[in-house]
Amino acid sequence: MDRTRRPRRLRRDGIRELVRETSLSARDLIAPVFVDATADERVDIPSMPGHERVPVDDAVERVEEVLATGVETVILFGIPSEKDEIGSRADAADGVVQAATRAISRETDATVITDVCLCEYTDHGHCGVLEASAPETTTLTVQNDPTLDRLADVAVSHAEAGADMVAPSSMMDGMVGAIRRGLDDAGHEDLPIMSYAVKYESAFYGPFRDAADGAPAFGDRRHYQMDPGNRREALREADLDVEQGADALMVKPAMPYLDIVRDVREETTLPVAAYQVSGEYAMLQAASEQGWLDLEAVALESLVAIERAGADVIVTYFAEMVAESLA
Ligand code: PBG
């Protein structure tokens, strides 16, 4: 051993914190909030302990709870009053997300991001408009281009309600460009788009689909979401969204895809977001309920790791808990 080389010197109390490379701040965290048009009181989400669906009338109160922890940004998901084939309630002026956004923007200082997708609003649970793929079969697939017009309308309706940023998550080709044009034509040139640019077809979304009631009624999302084995393709998706005018890029899920977060970080100068999804939350919660993991410690460590991999911002169900521990 070379006795002059002692990395432990920098790990002494006081020094260790001084030279820390990655420090998480509550300002980097985005808290998901579920607003439910069918609920008249708060409903627990069993697969996501500590999270609830709240009625529209409680949305402001719910966001105030988030703000009290030091988290300043929420991402809203809606459970509509009814569902149909084309997700009509997704772009209704009096829809659940629109009503909640209006109230939250009027009554709080929160930064409001809205998820732009159709899966919570369609009766079949897919992220777009369906059509028979071939007349001789009954196989239905999501039609890309007809879905784009719907997504642009959804984004515009969120903008009109006062959203500060829209986050399209449907993984349709051309979605960012279509939404950008829709927003610009409606006079919302200044509204930023955070694209779920790199979204994998992941089994880690399971608990969310309970929470937002958005599980596909048949089949899966493998024809539009990415194959978990693909790495280079993530960069193609990121490039396409940059070309189409995305203002920030998201990678989802986060923990099992840290290599992708790093790749996207190195590919772009735009802000990179990572979404620590419902399954990542649920597994840490479940292990801690067994007494096998210390929840606060693993939550914090997981977020530090995601930021170290290259994320500037993190969407996480631990936002409030971790923000409180940072304060
Ligand atoms: C789609 C959407 C999903 C999530 C966020 N937006 C579900 C999906 O693609 O199946 C998942 C988030 C999570 O698991 O926490 N609108």
Domain ranges of the chain: 21-326
For tokens 């640019």, the residue is 197
CATH class of the domain defined by 21-326: alpha beta
* 195 Cα: distance to centroid of ligand 1 (angstroms): 13
**Which pLDDT value is given to residue 212?**
82
Question: What's residue 136's pLDDT?
Answer: 52
Q: What per-residue confidence (pLDDT) applies to 209?
A: 85
CB 277 within 8 A of CB 204: yes
- The mean pLDDT values, 10 residues at a time, for the chain of 327 residues are 95 96 96 97 95 98 98 97 94 98 98 96 91 61 93 98 97 97 98 97 92 80 93 98 98 98 98 98 98 98 98 98 95
Task: Judge whether 83 counts as a catalytic residue.
Answer: no
In a mutational test of the pocket of ligand 1, which residue from 45, 119, 126, 195 has the highest number of ligand atoms less than 8 Å from its CB?
119
The pLDDT of residue 283: 97
The runs of H, that is alpha helices, within 38-174 are: 59-68, 96-107, 144-161
pLDDT of residue 222: 86
CA of 297 to the centre of ligand 1 (A): 25
263 lines ligand 1 (CB under 6 A): no
pLDDT of residue 69: 98
> What is residue 91's predicted lDDT score, i.e. its pLDDT?
97
Q: What's the pLDDT score for residue 157? A: 98
pLDDT of residue 137: 54
Looking at residue 95, its pLDDT comes to 98
Give Cα 299 to chain centroid, integer Å: 17
CA contacts within 13 A on the Cβ side of 269: 0
pTM, 2 dp: 0.96
Closest Cα to atom 14, ligand 1: which residue? 205
Closest ligand 1 atom, residue 119 Cα: 16
Atom of ligand 1 nearest to the CA of 317: 15
209 CA distance to ligand 1 centroid (A)? 7
Distance CA 113, CA 102 (A): 12
